[in-house]
Every structure is written in structure tokens, then in C-alpha cells.
Amino acid sequence: MSTKELDIRVVPPSEKHPTIFRTFDSLARGEGFTLVNDHDPSPLRHQFEATRSGQFSWKYVESGPAVWRVLIEKSA
Amino acid sequence: MSLVLSSAAAPERALPALDQAARARGLDGLEWVLEAEQPLEAFAVGVQTSGARVAALRAEALPQHLDALAHLAATLGVPVSAPAAALPSGALAAAASAFERAGGTLLLGEGAALEPMAALAQALRAAGTPRSVGVALELRPSTESLREASAALFACRPFLGLVRLHGGGPEQRAQDGLGVGGVLADLAACDFAGPTVLTPSGPAALPQWRSWLDSKRSAGCGSAHPPRALALELDMRPVEPRDRLDTILGAYHALARGGTLRLTVDHDPSCMAYTLEATEPEGSFSFHKVLASRGDSEDGPVVWRAEVTRL
């Protein structure tokens, strides 16, 4: 199954996290998307932990040095 | 989805040098803008011998006879995009045949307004939905409204092969509030997997693109501050997103107890508070944020201020 991909590198700063949460919130349970970024999105992960605790999984598919890919899935 | 850089960002650079710069920026390849009268066969050989990653071709004008262009696209195995207006009316079927014979793909773009994109999709259906011709969605947030972009996207989705974003890269901050995020979320939602091309919004933006392509990751500015500072101010807006966390944490760790870091940022800084909560000892800081400005118009830039005090 191909996963959705959201490349956040081109999105203006103030819209990055809202765009990511909008994409996550529109997923069905068990669905996921791959987030593509130009740095480790660890602050985002902390925000996920704080606001969507227990509802998501976070898996690094690629970890730099220029590109990071994270598979974010909504828990079934 | 792959993110590629248009040669329009640095037209003076040769193919291998531009690909090297794109690689250093983590981009997946290049869109090469073909010049009028460019010898196409020599160009194909140049691409193949240099090993540069050409992911798409761009033709601002289309020649009357499309066979050579179609052959180039097929040889390189990449699509060629062009303005829909570059194809004379009634020439769609002939163009489809030329690209079909060669085994290449032509992608036509009409901006991001609903009506012309729906008309383009309709014309493709009327031409029997040729496999060799599709659609390129042109997003120009700096000069054209993206208000209809989502509707345009869904109207042309079955034919969509490429997205061209006039901006992003060094221009992304200037495009704050213009709707790029919403369109990217919609592209993800409809499983778009084709390339997205970054191209400058206009000639005035070229100096920004050149310095962006040449810039190296900064080391952050934490070490530049005297240790144990009582008050630090940082305007994060000019700092690239990928350098922000190191910069802020560096400054935070330079604070003395009771010291305050004042930040100016262009997005809701809550993620900063969540990061400190997760990485710093409990009760070791206080965090306050305030929305300072929504700009002078609905689409104006967002400015937030945050104060972090080390307790």
C-alpha cells in the first residue's frame, strides 16, 4: 500500500504545524502519512505527544543529513 | 512525492553544478528549462554523460512540430511541462499523437483557478483521455490567489502529473498566509505522488535563490552569547526552520537562572513549550506567548512573541 506523503519543506513556517495536524486529523484509524522535512521534526513530535498522546505512532524512515522522512500513523 | 529545483532559480549555472547545489539542499533533482532553439539531441547527451538528475523539462513555448521534444522527453524518461496557451487551439490531438508515438509525456498548465483547469480536464476527456498528455498545476501564491486551488486540484486530479510552486525555498516566509499549506495538505490527501517543482516567483527573487542555494547550515548562535546571560533577544524569522531548534536551545542554555529569552517568531511557538517540557527538568522554566500581529490584512504575516524564563 502506498502511503500519503506530505512535503512540509515548501510550506511557510506559520502554516507547517497546522498543515501537518490537519493531514493527521483527516486520517482514518490505521492510516498513515510520510512527513518529509529538511530537519529532524522533533519539536513536532513533542507537540504530538502533548496534544495527541496515545493516538499516533512515529517512525523515522530517513534521518538526514539533508532530508528527514517520518511515517506518522494514526493508531487503530 | 519528490521535490525538484527548477533551473529558473539559477539560469546561469551549468547542469552538474546546479544538480550539486540541489543535492546539498536535499532536493531530489532538477527541472530543466529548455531555451528556444536549444539543440535537443546535444542536450540529451549532456544530461546522460553528466549523470545530473533531471526529473522534468520545461518549455515556455512549444515548437510547431513536437516530435523532437517528445523524443527528448522519452529519451530522458521525464515529463515536459508547458503553458496550455503554448499549444494552439485544436492542436491537442496532434500533440497527444506526437508524444504517444515517441513514448513521452506532455503536461499542460493553466494556473490554479477552477474554470481553466476544469476546461483543460474536459478537453482531455474530449480528446479520449490520451495517456501521453496530462496536467501541471501552477501555484503562484505571490501573485495569484490560491482560493480555488483545492477545487482546481480535484477537477484535474485524474490528469495531474506535476505541481509547479512559484516560491517555496527562500521565499516561503514571504508566502505566509497565502494558502500553500492547505494545497499541500490536499495534495497529500489525494495521494499525489508526482514531482513538485520549486521555481522563483519572478526575476526579483533570483538573488534570494542564489544565496539560498549557496548557504550552508549555520552552527546556531547559542555559542555566540556570553554564558549565563540574564536577558537575550532573538528574532527567529530570518533563521531557516531547520536551524531554529539548535539556535533557540543554544540561547536558552546560555541563560542564567532567572534569565529570560525573548523570541520573535512567525508561527505559534507552542511546539517550543512542548519541546522544553519534554527535554528540560520539570518546573525549570516558565513560558508565555502572545500573538503580536496578524499583519495589516487577513493575509498578512503572523508575528508571535514568546518569553522563556529559566527558573
- Reported ipTM: the value is 0.72
Give the pLDDT score at B216: 58
Nearest-by-Cβ selection for A13 from B25, B169, B176:
B176
Which of B128, B127, B135 has the alpha carbon at shortest distance from B106? B135
pLDDT digits (tens, 9 = 90+) for A3-32: 899 999 999 888 899 999 999 999 999 999
Cβ within 8 Å, pair B25-A16: no
Query: For strand B229-235 and strand B195-199, is the pairing parallel, antiparallel, or unpaired?
Result: unpaired
Nearest-angstrom CA–CA distance, B268 and A15: 9
CB atoms within 10 A of CB B131: 11
Give the pLDDT score at B299: 60
Q: Fill in the DSSP letter of residue B292.
A: E
Q: Within an 8 Å CB–CB cutoff, is residue A46 touching chain B?
A: yes
Query: For strand B160-166 and strand B2-6, is the pairing parallel, antiparallel, or unpaired?
Result: unpaired
Cβ within 8 Å, pair A10-B274: no
**What is the average pLDDT score of chain B?**
88
- Assign B309 to helix, strand or coil: strand
Give the pLDDT score at B85: 95
| Whether pLDDT at A2 is above 80 | no
CB atoms within 10 A of CB B93: 14
Phi first, then psi: give them for residue A52, nearest 5 degrees.
Answer: -135, 45
CB atoms within 10 A of CB B185: 24
Give the pLDDT score at A68: 95
Q: Within an 8 Å CB–CB cutoff, is residue A42 touching chain B?
A: yes
Q: Within an 8 Å CB–CB cutoff, is residue B173 touching chain A?
A: yes
- Asked if residue B79 has a cis previous peptide bond (ω within 30° of 0), the answer is no
Give the pLDDT score at B3: 92
Q: Which residues of B touch A33 (CB under 8 A)?
A: 188
Measured over the CA atoms of residue B121, residue B125, residue B129 and residue B133, the dihedral's sign is negative
Substitution target in A8, A11, A37, A72 with the highest count of B β-carbons within 10 Å is A11
Give the pLDDT score at B226: 47
Distances (CA, A) of B1 to B180, B186, B192, B213: 16, 13, 7, 21
Nearest-by-Cβ selection for A6 from B169, B188, B267:
B188
Nearest-angstrom CA–CA distance, B276 and B145: 38
Distances (CA, A) of B184 to A19, B88, B116, B209: 8, 31, 20, 21
Q: Answer for the pair B196, B4: CB distance below 8 angstroms, yes or no.
A: yes
Write out chain B's pLDDT in tens, 311 residues: 689 999 999 999 999 999 999 998 889 999 999 998 889 999 999 999 999 999 999 999 999 899 999 999 999 999 999 999 999 988 999 999 999 999 999 999 989 999 999 999 999 999 999 999 999 999 999 999 999 999 999 999 999 999 999 998 889 888 888 889 889 889 988 888 889 999 999 999 999 999 898 875 432 333 334 457 788 888 888 888 888 888 888 888 888 888 899 999 888 899 889 999 888 888 899 999 988 877 555 566 788 999 999 98
Q: Answer for the pair B146, B201: CB distance below 8 angstroms, yes or no.
A: no
Looking at per-residue pLDDT, the higher value among B291 and A35 belongs to: A35
Cβ within 8 Å, pair B181-A66: no
Give the pLDDT score at B110: 87
Give the pLDDT score at B242: 84
Cβ within 8 Å, pair B189-A23: yes
| Whether pLDDT at A74 is above 80 | yes
Q: Within an 8 Å CB–CB cutoff, is residue B186 touching chain A?
A: no
